[in-house]
Amino acid sequence: QDMSLHDKICQMLILSPEQLTGSARVTAADETMKQALQKLPVGGILYNTANFINKQQVREMLSETQRCSRIPLILTCDEEGGRVNRLMQTVGTTYIGPMFGFKDMGTETAYQNAHTIAADMHALGFNTDLAPVADVWSNPDNTVIGDRAYSDSFSQAAELIPAAVRGFHDGGVATALKHFPGHGDTFADSHDGAVTVTKSLEELRKNELLPFQAGIDAGSDMVMIGHLTLTEIDPSQPAPFSARIVTELLRRELGFGGVVITDGLQMKALTNDYSSGEIAVRAVSAGVDLLLCPDEPMEAVASLQEAVTSGAVSIQRIDESVRRILSMKINRGMIKLCS
């Protein structure tokens, strides 16, 4: 109730520590970070390998960063296992190989792998992992997902993903199913440019949506929208801008009531055609809650504020997202409520 419009919009952003502070490399939280969080009281921070030196340094950095923020922060990184890890390769947390290598070892292994990753992260001060990958490696020529997937079978992935969600939760971190509605049968990489999915909605329901539905039913906190253009559903715009995909399909049909987060907004699939301000307004209008690392954060904030002021985006739409974000923080113990 006491949040300004600026506070609310900032809560809808996750930024890198370098974006926040303007520093080339952040490995500690100091007065610069405190002042940055006063200026942009974001919802969370995404860390990468350059931010990590050793375990003690990470613990101190994250602890001090939380102390700099009035509202507790989502502290996260991409820690999937295999080739997508940030902590295993830098500070020596437990190494776990690509999830695809465990596909035939059952749900207990999926649970234990996730629990180990989460417990290691939680011990350092992280409260969220941008995992698990709910995409299915159904196209063997797909390299951007590849062995990051839990399986090349839709039904098998739908069994393993819920176990992973439970493992991450029990280990102490929130989860983000990615990359909705499915990046496993694509050829291109959204880091480099536009990516299209030509399947019909009925085909998606029978295949790609199965592990996402299973992860949602298991209580995943977030779903990450991929920078995918679905030519048979909404050919005019990428999924993060599509109310048909974000609101009608994900929220209404799949029944997801948690936080919808974008994939990284510095990827060329979006930045080749849209400014940070356009991306922010279009995504929020479609029903997205959290904007992950927009290329120009101040522009994104200013454009959303102007959109609310002009009536292009309602304050109720902003409030919906902020409530979801704060509710997730409460549910995962990031915000402690007084009894």
Q: Is 263 a catalytic residue?
A: yes
Q: Given the residues 120, 234, 263, 289, select the one marked as catalytic.
A: 263
Per the CB < 8 A criterion, the answer to whether 36 and 8 are in contact is no
As to burial, measured by CB atoms within 10 angstroms (0-12 exposed, 13-18 middle, 19+ buried), residue 71 is middle
Q: What is the DSSP string of 301-334?
A: HHHHHHHHHHTSS-HHHHHHHHHHHHHHHHHTTS
Per the CB < 8 A criterion, the answer to whether 10 and 301 are in contact is yes
Tokens 């997202």 correspond to what residue? 321
Number of C-beta neighbours around residue 58 at 10 A: 24
Q: Is 191 a catalytic residue?
A: yes
Residue 291's nearest CA partner among 313, 311, 309 is 313
Residue 95's nearest CA partner among 113, 72, 71 is 113
Q: Given the residues 152, 189, 191, 295, select the one marked as catalytic.
A: 191
Catalytic annotation, residues: 191, 263
